[in-house]
Structure 1
Amino acid sequence: MNTSKIIYTLFLVTLLSACAKQEKEPSNEMMETWKKEIADAEAAFAQMAKEEGMNKAFLAFAAEDAVLMRGNQLIEKKTGIAEYMKDQDSKGLAWSPEFVDVAKSGDLGYTYGYYTFSYEDQEGNPAEAKGVFHTVWKRQEDGSWKFVWD
């Protein structure tokens, strides 16, 4: 190999190395901050559902491209969620995450835990449905967290 080829090769390697995206691992403190942001968004979502009803809360915390899965049915986009939720003004849904995690990129996270839905049965008696929820959160351009999957 002649000298000009060696210099050219070294130049290309240096140039490509400089252009390569250097991903820095976030600190534990940053990861915990992001987890807290998601936990706070989840808590505000649950509080709004309790105080103002499911309809308002789901629309306030859904990203434009959010998807709900309800009984093997996908409800897609915020417009679909609005249609699905339009008559669901119940304030009987309560939940709290048992677990929160976030991607090292800081743009996606998820929560899961248990929910309780209190309602009146067909005879007007108090009833409850309990289950497990799983929510995927995505950081929005404005820095807020909105759910993209519930």
Structure 2
Amino acid sequence: MLCALAISLSAQTVPGATSASSLDTLAQAPPVAISPLTQPTLSPGVILLMELEGRFAKDVAASGGKAFSSWFADDAVTLNNGRPAVLGRAAIAAQAQWDPNVYQLTWTPQGAQMGPSNDMGFTWGHYEGHSRDKNGQPVTITGRYFTVWKKLPDGTWKVALDASAEEPPSAGECCVVPKP
């Protein structure tokens, strides 16, 4: 979800507003599907949401679950495959206890839309989770995510909803009978 931006967002009220020097750090990240460099018609709202996603992903890569939960609003909700909804940042934090040395969560945004009032928007894309099983073998999970962002009264942006779903089976895998 790291996005190389060549535009200053200082006109937006964003926690830890990005300066030109911090954009250099983002510019070193792998490219994403949406970039104002390749799509100059992106709205400032879409660019803001992509920049937020980039900072969110970078923070989680460095600090794991603790960083993940810190990006959520107090009344946020998470929705995941086969699990009940988790309501509120405190409950989300209680479940987001992973160490980035044990579990690595990464994601890449593929799109964003800002609402007409510029105080709420959403992003979506692809995620990967990497860990090891009890035998030390690598385990990778992949899927799609959808994040709803909202601007709080103090001008900061937080995640209001995070939803994810595992990737569907590859073509033909849905109908394969398990072997005994």
Name the counterpart of 1:105.
Answer: 117
Secondary structure in 2 matching 1:50: helix
TM-score, normalising length: structure 1: 0.73
Q: Judge conservation of contact 1:139–1:146 (CA < 8 Å) in 2.
A: yes
Counterparts of residues 49-68 of structure 1 (less than 5 Å): 49-53=60-64, 55-68=65-78
Counterparts of residues 95-134 of structure 1 (less than 5 Å): 95-134=107-146
Give the Å deviation of 1:38. 1.2
What is the aligned residue count? 119
Does 1:44 pair with 2:59?
Answer: no
What do you get for the CA RMSD once the two structures are aligned? Answer: 1.7
State how far apart, in whole Å, the 2-side matches of 1:83 and 1:94 are: 20
TM-score, normalising length: structure 2: 0.62
Hey, which of these two has a bigger chunk of strand by percent?
1
Q: Judge conservation of contact 2:124–2:147 (CA < 8 Å) in 1.
A: yes
Does 1:34 pair with 2:45?
Answer: yes
Give the Å deviation of 1:149. 0.5
Of 148, 159, 179 in structure 2, the residue corresponding to residue 136 of structure 1 is 148
Give the Å deviation of 1:62. 0.2
Give the Å deviation of 1:89. 2.2
Hey, which of these two has a bigger chunk of helix by percent?
1
Structure with greater Cα Rg: 1
Secondary structure in 2 matching 1:35: helix
Unaligned runs of 5+ in 1: 1-30
Name the counterpart of 2:172.
Answer: none
| Deviation by residue 1:40-67 (Cα, 9 ceiling, x = unmatched) | 11111111111111x2222221011100
Q: Judge conservation of contact 1:138–1:147 (CA < 8 Å) in 2.
A: yes
Percent identity between the two aligned chains: 31
Name the counterpart of 2:19.
Answer: none
State how far apart, in whole Å, the 2-side matches of 1:124 and 1:89 are: 16
The runs of 4+ residues in structure 1 deviating greater than 4 Å are: none
State how far apart, in whole Å, the 1-side matches of 2:76 and 2:117 are: 20
Give the Å deviation of 1:144. 2.1
